[in-house]
Amino acid sequence: MNLYKIANEARGLAMDAIAAAKSGHLGLPVGCAEVGVALFGCAMRYYPENARWVNRDRFVLSAGHGSMFLYAWLHMAGYKVSLDDIRAFRQMGSKTPGHPEFGHTEGVECTTGPLGQGIGNAVGLAVSQKKLRAYMGDLIDSHVFCLCGDGCMQEGVAMESLALAAHWKLDNLILLYDSNDVTLDASLSRTQSEQTADRMRAIGFGVQTVDGHNIEAVVEALERAKLAEGFPQIVIVKTVIGKGIPEVEGTAKAHGESGIKFAKEARQRWGLPSEPFYVSEETRAFFEKRLAELSNSYRTWQTRFDAWKTANAATHELLFGQKAALSLDDFPKFEKTVATRTACGEVLQSIAEKDPLFLTASADLFGSTKNYLKDGGDFSANNIAGRNLWVGIREHAMGAILNGIAYDDFFRPSGATFLVFSDYMRPAVRLAAMAKLPVIYLWTHDSVAVGEDGPTHQPVETVDSLRCIPNLVVLRPADAEETIGALETAYNRKDGPTAIILSRQDLPVLQGTSRKNVASGAYVVQAESEALQAIALASGSEVALAISRANKHTRVVSFPSMELFDAQPEDYRNATLDPRCKDRTAYEATTGHFWAKYQTTQLHAIHTFGLSAPTVEVLKHFFK
């Protein structure tokens, strides 16, 4: 079989799908067709009949706009992506959306498209696979292949992530950098002057550069990269973007769909018949043979796995069994005034004990965010079992790496930084919400109560801006008791990320707070003792304030999570916020934009950035 012929057929599929959709990105699937053969036809180990095989090589298309690359090769390789699916590229409800979507198409490891994120996800997958080795030994010898372009490489999140990959010596990570010297707008030389190979060596990568249209050379480089130990690997594949498409190849115009008007001539150059969506019998036969080999390899591995399973039943159950729901009923009640970040740190120790697969990260702030797992050890090349990830001052990479760990679905990732710096990782948080990843964010140093550090470090709009993200649950516990409930709720959520907003300052443990009620989003924390005249609504540190200002006719409702409350049955919502009571005052040390939906008539919130002064004075300034 001529592998170059297969490459050209993949080019044809991309051209036909994008021409049919009149939309899409031709540049990468056409430019990287030989890379595709090298990966799916030769170097990568996978098994479409068990697409989530634990020891498969993972493939991440960080340059998600080149989605037809992925769909074409998944189709050829035997995944559940049919030619009809490819014909429906970018159409409503198809398996082949504009950018790859995790959970939607088998074989798609990550939701990618926003540039740079896939590189971070790949690092996370590599971390997860390294950590699996701590449990399964050499049963796990998978690699993570990540294909990215100049766009990904220019993004800060990628550079942060690569620094960590090198620091952790993730030699199971192989980055394929589709280096075609062209970005969407122009030649790469318009925006870049670096010596990439030197830069990557300086970071700590093994570097190879190959002709991306020479399949043998690419395969050889990938095989060498697979064998390399001690350093992550980058293979710089020099390609011609849109190779073979007249007028556009090698130029910025090749990126998008403008090449479709040259489809006919391109097909001729590629040696393809006029029939669209063409895959030859030889190609089918090649991949059938490949599948048979992969199937053998899978079966051999499965035999070893079965033996391991018998000998390691408990570990097997831990990794592959049903996860039990977490209960923190037995966690002792905090008696004293305590910062919720501190309370959180103590509860985390208990969670870590109950679930050995629970991990946590901090962006150079373990000392402040208090989420260090005391018996967890530090993840490193020398301690792949370590459960604390020291990610440095790289919030965005932390977000993308936590997503990668969550995509792999063995370890339960959480990560911490100051709430105000959640902005630095926001694009990754958005993707966690979209891809329904159960990441837990521990964001401390809430509100202007941060004090002396001043407005740059005081989140005021941050909680509201997080509430905007669909499928992100935001929890702002009022005290240590609600913090216990928040962690239980977050842990038990499986279909999306949860943010827990924690105080730097000490907060009293309030009388009426309840860990159990957190899951309902809002509840009466102090009932009116006489006829109801007013409702006070508050979250977090302001629940105490609301209670302090309540009189006998006031009902105080603690509101740890609007998203969870809004999901409650109407009965519960009406019982909590009596609709007949129109006098409603909200207290929250945020911009407070979300309270209007509860028909509040008064709002005590913060409408400007904060200021630098001791906490008590700042709070007095804003809540006179």
Q: Show which residues are catalytic.
A: 395
283 near a copy of itself, rule: CB under 8 A: no
Task: Show contacts with a copy of itself in window 62-81 (CB under 8 A).
Answer: 64-65
How far apart CA 580 and CA 122 sit, in angstroms, is 53
* DSSP per-residue string spanning 536-592: EEE-TTHHHHHHHH--TTEEEEE-S-HHHHHTS-HHHHHHHS-TT---EEEE-SS--
How far apart CA 577 and CA 570 sit, in angstroms, is 10
Selected from 285, 292, 307, 393, the binder of a copy of itself by CB under 8 A is 393
159 near a copy of itself, rule: CB under 8 A: yes
Please enumerate in sequence order all residues whose Cβ is within 8 A of that of 423, keeping only pairs 6 or more positions apart, or say none.
462, 465
Q: Between 336 and 597, whose beta carbon lies closer to a copy of itself? A: 597
Selected from 366, 441, 491, 565, the binder of a copy of itself by CB under 8 A is 366
Query: Minimal distance in Å, beta carbon 231 to a copy of itself?
Result: 10
Selected from 20, 469, 510, 547, the binder of a copy of itself by CB under 8 A is 469
Please enumerate in sequence order all residues whose Cβ is within 8 A of that of 86, keeping only pairs 6 or more positions apart, or say none.
13, 16, 17, 68, 71, 72, 75, 96, 277
Task: Show contacts with a copy of itself in window 412-451 (CB under 8 A).
Answer: 420-421, 423-424, 426-427, 430-431, 433-434, 451
Q: Between 213 and 394, whose beta carbon lies closer to a copy of itself? A: 394
Q: Between 121 and 526, whose beta carbon lies closer to a copy of itself? A: 121
Picking from 202, 45, 207, the residue whose alpha carbon sits closest to that of residue 129 is 45
3-state secondary structure labels for all residues of 356-406:
CCECEEECCCHHHHCCCCCCCCECECCECCCCEEECCCCHHHHHHHHHHHH
308 near a copy of itself, rule: CB under 8 A: no
Selected from 16, 109, 171, 464, the binder of a copy of itself by CB under 8 A is 464
Q: Which two tokens stand for residue 56?
A: 């498969």
Q: Between 78 and 415, whose beta carbon lies closer to a copy of itself? A: 415
Question: b/e for 226-250, b at 16 or more Cβ within 10 A?
Answer: bebeebbbbbbbebbbbbbbeebbb
Picking from 269, 589, 601, the residue whose alpha carbon sits closest to that of residue 460 is 589
Q: Kindly report the backbone phi and psi dihedral angles of residue 272, in degrees, each rounded to the nearest multiple of 5, phi listed first.
A: -100, 150
Query: Minimal distance in Å, beta carbon 506 to a copy of itself?
Result: 16
Task: Show contacts with a copy of itself in window 540-569 (CB under 8 A).
Answer: none
Q: Site for a copy of itself (CB under 8 A): how many residues?
A: 108
Work out the burial of residue 530: count CB atoms within 10 Å of its CB; fewer than 13 is exposed, 13-18 middle, 19 or more buried. exposed
296 near a copy of itself, rule: CB under 8 A: no
115 near a copy of itself, rule: CB under 8 A: yes
461 near a copy of itself, rule: CB under 8 A: yes
Task: Show contacts with a copy of itself in window 204-223 (CB under 8 A).
Answer: 204
Q: Under a CB-based contact definition with an 8 Å cutoff, are residues 513 and 482 in contact?
A: yes
Task: Show contacts with a copy of itself in window 332-361 (CB under 8 A).
Answer: none
Selected from 138, 230, 314, 470, the binder of a copy of itself by CB under 8 A is 470
585 near a copy of itself, rule: CB under 8 A: no
Selected from 135, 177, 594, 622, the binder of a copy of itself by CB under 8 A is 594
The crossing angle, in degrees rounded to 10, of helices 281-311 and 313-320 is 130
Query: Minimal distance in Å, beta carbon 488 to a copy of itself?
Result: 26
* Chain centroid, CA 495 distance in Å: 13
How far apart CA 12 and CA 8 sit, in angstroms, is 6
Selected from 455, 492, 506, 514, the binder of a copy of itself by CB under 8 A is 455
How far apart CA 234 and CA 162 sit, in angstroms, is 10
Q: Which two tokens stand for residue 215?
A: 């399949």
92 near a copy of itself, rule: CB under 8 A: yes
From 35-43, 241-249, 271-279, 602-610, span contacting a copy of itself (CB under 8 A): 602-610
Selected from 24, 66, 244, 404, the binder of a copy of itself by CB under 8 A is 24
Query: Minimal distance in Å, beta carbon 612 to a copy of itself?
Result: 3
Q: Which two tokens stand for residue 109?
A: 């490891």
How far apart CA 237 and CA 35 sit, in angstroms, is 8
Q: Between 198 and 317, whose beta carbon lies closer to a copy of itself? A: 198
Q: Between 3 and 611, whose beta carbon lies closer to a copy of itself? A: 611
From 198-206, 340-348, 519-527, 548-556, span contacting a copy of itself (CB under 8 A): 198-206
Q: Between 563 and 578, whose beta carbon lies closer to a copy of itself? A: 563
506 near a copy of itself, rule: CB under 8 A: no
Beta carbons within 10 angstroms of residue 302's beta carbon: 15
From 42-50, 95-103, 507-515, 552-560, span contacting a copy of itself (CB under 8 A): 95-103
Q: Between 298 and 424, whose beta carbon lies closer to a copy of itself? A: 424
Task: Show contacts with a copy of itself in window 138-157 (CB under 8 A).
Answer: 150-152, 154-157
Selected from 42, 51, 203, 385, the binder of a copy of itself by CB under 8 A is 203
Place of tokens 């030994």: 137
The crossing angle, in degrees rounded to 10, of helices 117-136 and 313-320 is 160
Query: Minimal distance in Å, beta carbon 28 to a copy of itself?
Result: 14
